[in-house]
């Protein structure tokens, strides 16, 4: 128990680590040459199975450490005792960041230019209360394909980065510029103090997303389709933007909205 707790404490300090679980997702990740695994976790109670043997062989070939745990210890690592199937895998995701990393990148962009106006301003997408794993995965896929510099995801308040999210993202989760934070509200306040503007969507706004020209570093915040963003974040936003729609359509799927933001911002930056 002490060993697994120490592992979790060490892991918490690494923003670039993603733990996946489940026999098929782990085997698929180990079979992907673009993914860098570094620790395979197995339950001591696992019965022999070809898929486990294959996973162990692949992990050893990639010089990943293979560690055995009690079922209880493994559940603390996977955080999904009902679905981990006795196996979990730590993956190194070099594109993952934390808030401090992005702050430093923002300051570097400014310092590397003669004037702030010449610096390429960062564009981030932030997610508030996106609980559906499929929506989260599709948002990540759209944002990764578009021209955004990061996807800000709170550890609490959004769906966990689970195999369902990985599947819906079509594998882009491993290379997406994910920015993990503890509290979205606190992170947004910190970014605002560092010069970012915050935009969110509102069907009652008169300013169109497609007409809004962001002048500096900007964060677009998306909420879930039922309730939108929280009231605190809505009040914090500098701009409320709407998406003009035809035929009395009231709203779009949140992943579609993410795609519109990602590609619209790319068009504006290239104009």
Percent of the chain at pLDDT exceeding 90: 50
What's phi and psi for 129, nearest 5 deg? 60, 40
| Separation of alpha carbons 82 and 135, rounded Å | 22
Could you tell me the pLDDT band of residue 1, with boundaries at 50, 70 and 90? very low
Structure confidence at residue 269 (pLDDT): 53
| Separation of alpha carbons 87 and 127, rounded Å | 29
Model-wide pTM > 0.75 = yes
CB of 99 closer than 8 Å to CB of 190? yes
Sketch out the chain's domains with CATH numbers.
Answer: 2-92 (3.30.1330.30), 97-270 (3.40.1280.10)
Closest residue by Cα to residue 225 from 250, 199, 260:
250
CA distance readout (Å), 258 to 112, 114, 139, 177, 255 = 30, 32, 6, 14, 5
Is the per-residue pLDDT at 151 higher than 90?
yes
Most distant pair of Cα atoms in the chain: their distance: 63
Helices (H), 146-253: 163-168, 184-193, 231-236
Q: Encode pLDDT of 172-226 as tens digits.
A: 888 889 999 999 999 999 999 998 999 999 888 888 998 888 888 999 999 987 8
Helices (H), 49-205: 50-61, 71-78, 99-111, 133-145, 163-168, 184-193
Q: Encode pLDDT of 122-144 as tens digits.
A: 899 999 999 999 999 999 999 88
């Amino acid at each position: 128990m002490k060993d697994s707790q120490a592992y979790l404490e060490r892991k918490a300090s690494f923003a670039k680590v993603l733990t996946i679980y489940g026999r098929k997702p782990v085997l698929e990740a180990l079979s992907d040459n673009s993914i860098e695994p570094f620790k395979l976790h197995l339950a001591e109670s696992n019965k022999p199975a070809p898929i486990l043997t294959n996973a162990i062989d692949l992990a050893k070939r990639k010089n990943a450490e293979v560690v055995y745990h009690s079922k209880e210890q493994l559940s603390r690592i996977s955080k999904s005792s009902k679905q981990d199937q006795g196996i979990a895998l730590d993956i190194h995701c070099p594109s993952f960041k934390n808030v401090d990393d992005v702050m430093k990148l923002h300051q570097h962009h400014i310092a590397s230019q003669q004037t702030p106006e010449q610096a390429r301003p960062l564009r981030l997408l932030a997610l508030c209360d996106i609980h559906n794993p499929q929506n989260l995965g599709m948002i990540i896929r759209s944002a990764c394909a578009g021209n955004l510099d990061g996807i800000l995801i709170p550890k609490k308040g959004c769906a966990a980065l689970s195999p369902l999210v990985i599947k819906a993202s079509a594998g882009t989760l491993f290379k997406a510029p994910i920015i993990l934070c503890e509290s979205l509200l606190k992170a947004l306040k910190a970014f605002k103090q560092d010069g970012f503007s915050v935009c969110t969507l509102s069907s009652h706004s008169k300013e169109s997303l497609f007409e809004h020209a962001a002048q500096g570093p900007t964060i677009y915040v998306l909420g879930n389709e039922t309730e939108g963003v929280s009231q605190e974040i809505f009040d914090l936003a500098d701009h409320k933007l709407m998406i003009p729609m035809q035929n009395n359509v009231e709203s779009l799927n949140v992943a579609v909205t993410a795609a519109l933001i990602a590609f619209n911002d790319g068009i504006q930056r290239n104009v």
